Amino acid sequence: EIVMTQSPATLSVSPGERATLSCRASQSVSSDLAWYQQKPGKAPRLLIYGASTRATGIPARFSGSGSGTEFTLTISSLQSEDFAVYYCQQYNNWPPLTFGGGTKVEIK
């Protein structure tokens, strides 16, 4: 099973600042990685797939990078609606499909 580890667990950022979230895989997943955003009481929302491709309707301030075992989600200028929990997920080697434990982006 591929273990996905996200860091930090919580990220405190001021509106307008840049946020950088990390996701590490226990073995290479190539570029088979997705990022999701989840707000309280809501279903997750797909942001990024293929490590770096934005999903339909996702603003350009969200960008993904990385390959192999190290991945990054960057939010270039945080807006109020971006404060949420973010999950990475690999689909390179499954079953099982695995998610990271999440990073909560909170207002500083």
Partner 1 sequence: EVQLVESGGGLVQPGGSLRLSCAASGFTFSSYDMHWVRQATGKGLEWVSAIGTAGDTYYPGSVKGRFTISRENAKNSLYLQMNSLRAGDTAVYYCARLRVPPAFDIWGQGTMVTVSS
| For partner 1, the closer CB: 14 or 56 | 56
Q: What is d(CA 25, CA 38) in angstroms, rounded to the nearest whole number?
A: 21
Binding track, positions 22-51, relative to partner 1; x by CB under 8 A: ----------x-x-x-x----xxxx--xx-
**Spatial distance between the Cα atoms of 107 and 79, rounded to a whole number of angstroms:** 10
Quote the least distance from Cβ 73 to partner 1, whole Å: 14
Question: CB-based burial of residue 30 (10 Å sphere; 0-12 exposed, 13-18 middle, 19+ buried)?
Answer: middle
* Binding flags for partner 1, 58-97, as an x/- string (CB under 8 A): -----------------------------x-x-x--xxxx
